[in-house]
Structure 1
């Protein structure tokens, strides 16, 4: 009972801190601590949102939330670049129900991490998506956040404690959680400074000794053929670039925008042996295997590009029968955010990804003195690290 009271108290403090950040008032309702945010947040009707209004958070509201503390300028790392607004935020809001229907399997490594946490731990899931990890360990308490209001709506309908928030500006007080996870999130941030800031935020919000698990897509894909199905950006976006209009025009690419089977997206189906490394200086034993044949990429004229390219648009095919042709999809098609693929009977949306090379994730925390990497591993085409907060 004491533990329950303590956890309830911590949640109340969380909501108070949330209001201070956004300059809003909040109300904690019922034993489940469901909440609503008043004032400017009235526009974000998560619980009562209508399917006809898939974008309760427009770009301007996103910018206000991301820059609630400081003015939004191009040099402010917390200001969302246009490429993320258009090819991450808007896309995930548009595909949320279909995306959620494909996201139910738990990754064994993430499940193992959550199962290992002490009884009563408060876990913060930054970029929780449809909430598939929220509540995984019944002995822990979970709070999730995501930039997509439509994914948060799905989480809310499932009874999870969630809110709309940006990964580079988490609405939790310092030292609030016992652990934090960021699963397949950082690769959607378009600059190194924003990726680094997101890691700093994850470290900030856990207490001393708290653990942080981060996973990102790897450029070293087990199935190299996946890279041929992604559209490479010809040049990296300018550091901290924020501006009106569309992102920079990329050079024409002969790469076909083909469908990625959802069950195999970013997963070739090859199961590598579990292995961990406590950073003794050696390379992980389960480093991604080399190409099985020198001819693996022979049919692709982009071999050199594939070796160095890290910026991609990864397509999501939303079947016509799942698309709101009269609403979201029609608007996306009209604005150029999405395209029709009549052969596959789908509306195609592009999602921005920065895929990580080996050691890049650890490199982002090399200058931080308040955390240390206690584990690193490669798991099903993902680079993963576990951090421990020192102070």
Structure 2
């Protein structure tokens, strides 16, 4: 009986191993079909495959880099022009160098500062996103643009995932979890055209401050998937299920106007004159439970006046994030952020308060942006947990 049980255990192990081998072969075949050797695609500047102790691990084999279809990305590269000097590529010229200041300060710098705490609150998977990923065929290559802490990377074990994010600390967190990730800008993805089978952009587009940049991000998602591939996009909705939330966020309206940050950007005060003292309080970030939308527990003083009327046309907000004093990342960096006006102390809550920029989407806005995208059609659209969501399919 003991020998029989041992044989059955060995057989089970062999079957499991064989299944894993078949999945790996399926993935390899997908990659081989997608990018045969000799098809070098875009210029390579030293790929960053992040799955080791080092934050950036250069791959020495340029053929393999081109084979994977990726392009070099370090923080320095992202901050410079996306195209090599004197060369033309099909990628958008819009990179971090032309990013509006409001995004640099109230999105990039904030997420860099709160990354560990933010990651600790991001673990629940949205059922709709999980359903989309689990519906993909065996061996599909999924590109996650704005992957955050990588909670969706590897969700479907039968697919291969590559993530990217503009926040280097968040990318480091993903890398430490053995995910394949790169530092990259959502409006200029580092992949060849038609590289992936599917792409997702979960809670990313609402951090882009101009319609041009939001449209470009959608174009990039469509560009990097193959014909017939699908793209899932979710954004915060202006039509919040709890309407009282909108009166508790800080709207970026005329009372903040001193200068334009950039063409099409919301009007806010210049960094030298802007103060966070009027920003309302928030309970977000004070516990480890994630809600289906980040602002589900924001509270504070109402903006007053005809708030309900203002909300009809108001789409630009600051949403607070409380970083507790006891967190390890509250150190010299936070002191510097407070001194520069990026954050403020809230002794009542025992936290450093950062504010994130959001453009909340009105009904139909996301569909209108996507409807003008070349070679793409909307195949599904829905409202879920105070988010507008669409699924696009790339057509020939």
Q: Please tell me the TM-score bracket, short chain as reference.
A: 0.7 to 0.9
Alignment of 1:125-140 (within 5 A): 125-140=144-159
Matched, 1:338 2:357: no
Q: Aligned match of 2:102 in 83, 89, 92?
A: 83
Alignment of 1:1-391 (within 5 A): 2-7=25-30, 9=32, 20-21=42-43, 23-26=44-47, 36-37=57-58, 57=75, 62-64=78-80, 77-78=94-95, 79-235=98-254, 238-239=262-263, 246=270, 257-262=280-285, 263-264=290-291, 266=293, 301-322=306-327, 324-391=329-396
Change (3 A) 1:324 1:11: farther
In structure 2, how many angstroms separate the alpha carbons of the residues matched to 1:241 and 1:256?
20
**Which whole-Å deviations, capped at 9, do the CAs of 1:301-324 have from their partners, x for residues lacking one?**
522212211001111000011153
In structure 2, how many angstroms separate the alpha carbons of the residues matched to 1:309 and 1:134?
34
Change (3 A) 1:38 1:249: farther
- Give SS of 1:139's match: coil
**Which whole-Å deviations, capped at 9, do the CAs of 1:151-189 have from their partners, x for residues lacking one?**
000000000000100000000000000000000000000
Structure 2, unmatched stretches of 5+, are 1-21, 61-73, 255-259, 297-301
In structure 2, how many angstroms separate the alpha carbons of the residues matched to 1:320 and 1:239?
37
Change (3 A) 1:4 1:112: closer
Change (3 A) 1:239 1:302: same
Say whether the 8 Å CA contact 2:192–2:224 is kept in structure 1. Answer: yes
- Report 1 or 2 for greater relative contact order, CA contacts < 8 Å, sequence distance ≥ 6: 1
In structure 1, how many angstroms separate the alpha carbons of the residues matched to 2:56 and 2:118?
25
In structure 1, how many angstroms separate the alpha carbons of the residues matched to 2:151 and 2:128?
14
- Give SS of 1:174's match: coil
Say whether the 8 Å CA contact 2:164–2:182 is kept in structure 1. Answer: yes
Change (3 A) 1:110 1:177: same
Say whether the 8 Å CA contact 1:146–1:166 is kept in structure 2. Answer: yes
In structure 1, how many angstroms separate the alpha carbons of the residues matched to 2:49 and 2:276?
51
The structure number with the bigger radius of gyration is: 2
Q: Aligned-residue CA RMSD in angstroms?
A: 3.6
Change (3 A) 1:119 1:265: closer
**Which whole-Å deviations, capped at 9, do the CAs of 1:56-105 have from their partners, x for residues lacking one?**
94xx764316576799xxx9644211111111111001000000000000
In structure 2, how many angstroms separate the alpha carbons of the residues matched to 1:356 and 1:230?
15
Count of residue correspondences: 336
Deviation at 1:248, TM superposition (A): 9.4
In structure 2, how many angstroms separate the alpha carbons of the residues matched to 1:349 and 1:268?
14
- Give SS of 2:114's match: helix
Change (3 A) 1:298 1:352: closer
- Give SS of 1:364's match: helix
In structure 2, how many angstroms separate the alpha carbons of the residues matched to 1:156 and 1:321?
25
TM-score by length of 1: 0.76
In structure 2, how many angstroms separate the alpha carbons of the residues matched to 1:233 and 1:249?
15
In structure 2, how many angstroms separate the alpha carbons of the residues matched to 1:325 and 1:254?
19
